[in-house]
Copies of this chain bind each other. A is one copy, B any other.
Amino acid sequence: MAITVVGSVAFDSVETPSGKYERKLAGAGTYFSLAASYFTDVRVIGVVGEDFGPQHEAVFAARGIDTRGIERAEGKSFFWRGEYGENLNEAKTLQTDLNVFATFEPKIPEAYLDSEFLFLANIDPVLQRRVREGMPKARLVGGDTMNYWINDHRANLLKMLEVVDILLINDTETKLLAGNKNPVKAANDVLKLGPKSLVVKHGEYGATAFFGGKSFAGTDAHHPFRAPALPLAEVVDPTGAGDSFAGGFFGYIASQPELTPEVFKRAMFYGGVMGSFAVERFGTERLQELTREEIEERFGMFRALTHLD
């Protein structure tokens, strides 16, 4: 079933220990939708500037992604310049130009309104909540956020969390949001803010799903679930790993007839799989040219890495 994602469609200039690139197509909305497109129909809501050309449009088209929700505005697209040192888990931001994103007002195409799945990538929580309210037929809503919104827009973020079913954030964000350094207590505190499930991303160590007290899709608050990340000999570019995880995770869920605990667990694995592909090459390169066979093969590697038999 179709999934709509609202998020940034941007250009990134990135330097990592493996090399660098200038102004490649990027953004959370882009990574998410490419990763999810291997599992289900994807629709994007975002805004781009005049620097977004047919060659960029073609990246979405090649994966059958519906871009009618990407508004073309005067000016330049959102731009981010960052670099990674030897600690590939943490990017250093050198430049952020919001450009057309500064006045972004998400517009939901009528053709998107029957989407049963909605993912609110990391943008202003006021806009996240507005999009959710504009899509009442969405029966499962995922969301992301970041330190900036947790620290400086807390009230708005709390309103957003009320309407999110599954929140996907990392360790640092979880502890910051909860104000608690213990990972389990922090997760439980976040679950009290609204989400029925919290997926905490651990970078190279994978991700752990926690569930709230009230049963959600058959899950059990006493049974968290941990999916691994693949130990990789070279991480070429960590950019977009988390958004690709979210795309694989939510794309797989949207492709299944029902959300069961088994589907949730497999979705965690597919999230890790898509994240592991994303970081193998620069930007979205690897996500543009995968096959379902490669994805299934890697899923098997994740299983072999963690399963006793």
A102 located at the interface, meaning its Cβ lies under 8 Å from any Cβ of chain B in the complex: no
Give the number of times this chain occurs in the complex, counting copies: 2
Give A193-208 as 1s and 0s: 1 = Cβ < 8 Å from B's Cβ atoms. 0000000001011101
List of B residues within 8 angstroms of A206 by Cβ: 205
Given the complex, which residues of B lie within 8 Å of A139, measured CB to CB? none
Q: Are B224 and A184 in contact (CB under 8 A)?
A: no
Interface size, chain A (Cβ < 8 Å): 36
Q: How far is the CA of A228 from the CA of B208 in the complex (A)?
A: 10
Stretch in A5-13, A123-131, A261-269 touching the partner: A261-269
CB-CB < 8 A to A224: which residues of B? 231, 305
A:206-224 near B, CB below 8 Å: 206, 208, 210, 223-224
Q: Decide if A104 is an interface residue (CB 8 Å cutoff).
A: no
Chain B residues with Cβ below 8 Å from A87 are 181
Cβ of A187: which chain B residues have Cβ within 8 Å of it? Answer: 231
- CB of A153 within 8 Å of the partner chain: no
- Asked whether, in the complex, the Cβ of B308 is within 8 Å of the Cβ of A232, the reply is no
Partner of A231, one of B184, B231, B307: B184
A103 at interface, CB cutoff 8 A = no
A148 vs chain B, min Cβ distance (A): 23
How many Å lie between the Cα of A205 and that of B305 in the bound state?
14
CB-based contact A183/B204 at 8 Å: yes
In whole angstroms, how far apart are the Cα atoms of A269 and B226 in the complex?
14
Asked if A233 is at the interface of the complex by the 8 Å CB criterion, the answer is: yes
C-alpha spacing A208/B182, complex, angstroms: 23
Min CB–CB distance A187 → chain B (angstroms): 8
Contact pick for A309, options B86, B202, B231, B262, CB 8 Å? B262
Contact between B308 and A266 (Cβ–Cβ < 8 Å)? yes
Query: Looking at the complex, which one of B234, B269, B305 makes contact with A182 (CB distance below 8 Å)?
Result: B234
- A184-B232, A225-B304, A226-B305 provided; 9 other pairs, C-beta below 8 A? A87-B181, A182-B234, A188-B233, A202-B205, A210-B231, A224-B231, A225-B305, A226-B231, A266-B308
List the 5 closest A-B pairs by CB distance, nearest first: A205-B205, A184-B233, A86-B181, A184-B231, A306-B306
14 contacts between A and B (CB under 8 A): A183-B231, A184-B232, A187-B231, A188-B233, A223-B305, A224-B305, A225-B305, A226-B228, A226-B231, A226-B305, A226-B306, A262-B309, A266-B308, A307-B308
